[in-house]
Amino acid sequence: MLGGSVPESASGQVVRGRDRATVVTCVVLGVITVVAWAQVVSSAMTPDPMQGMVMAPMVLDGLVYVAGWTVMMAAMMLPSALPMIGLYAATQRSAGGPARKILPVALFTLVYLGVWAATGAPMYFASTLLAASDAVALRYGIAAVLVVAGIFQISPLKQMCLRHCRSPLGFFLGHWRPGWRGSLAMGGAHAMYCLGCCWALMVVLVVAGAMGLPWVLLVSAAVAAEKLLPGGSWIARGVGVALVLLGLAVASRSDVAMALRAGGHSM
């Protein structure tokens, strides 16, 4: 077991149910998720005058992209992270005053979102590279990404990361750290497991789906189903098989790649 164990008082409180701080945490995260989804949908419905233009990477464009990516990650990832964050809030109910209860949960959540926000930079460069690719390179690049992502979905590494994401109590039993430094460490550890679980789907979202709203919804549903529904590991494998078949279809027919990226929206 890594890093000690959950204090006995905290683990007992988790079993007894939710307190006000836990409910408030869930409500606040729910509001943030709704606002983030509203922004994602609004952005998808707004025509992008620069869409389709080949542009060199620029700092300002990159910052705008990463900001939009961060909002999208909040919308897509917070719903499936809510059980983990809610459980962590429950362990803090005996921490003292409101500040002592809120700060650890806020740090945990901010680090989690921060790791996902950081992935926006490589995604920006990938998007720029794709925009400069010719039709043939784009087609086979999409096919390769789909096949690789599909194979990863059924890999042992994917299943290992998914198990940590699906078992909040097991995660805390194995990674508990006290204090605010512990909040940072545990938030980072959970984010890395989540990133290890979902990175391939996010690459598919960018490369194959051009971050179009239908793909955002599909990937979000797949992430939530893998982490929250019974039989999540088999759902992940089913998604993997579907991605491999789709990749083979893209490789064999040029029009499939364009159909996948139709309606994509540049952030």
Express each pLDDT in 176-224 by its tens digit. Answer: 988 889 999 999 999 999 999 999 999 999 998 888 889 999 999 999 9
Residue 20 counted as domain residue: yes
DSSP alpha helices (H): ranges in the chain? 8-16, 20-45, 59-91, 98-118, 120-131, 135-153, 156-166, 168-175, 179-207, 213-228, 232-252, 254-261
Residue 180 counted as domain residue: yes
User: What pLDDT does residue 267 have?
Assistant: 53
DSSP 60: H
User: What pLDDT does residue 4 have?
Assistant: 56
User: What pLDDT does residue 60 have?
Assistant: 84
User: What pLDDT does residue 237 have?
Assistant: 97
In the chain, which residues have pLDDT < 70? 1-21, 47-57, 94-99, 263-267
User: What pLDDT does residue 265 have?
Assistant: 59
Residue 267 counted as domain residue: no
User: What pLDDT does residue 48 have?
Assistant: 55
Residue 134 counted as domain residue: yes
Residue 128 counted as domain residue: yes
Residue with tokens 């233009």: 53
- Total domains present in the chain: 1
User: What pLDDT does residue 18 have?
Assistant: 53
Nearest to 2 by CA among 180, 187, 169, 171: 171
| Domain residue limits at 130 | 8-261
Residue 3 counted as domain residue: no
Tokens for 3?
A: 């890093």
Residue 266 counted as domain residue: no
Whole-angstrom distance, CA of residue 226 vs CA of residue 222: 6
**Count of CB atoms within 10 A of residue 260's CB?**
22
Residue 2 counted as domain residue: no
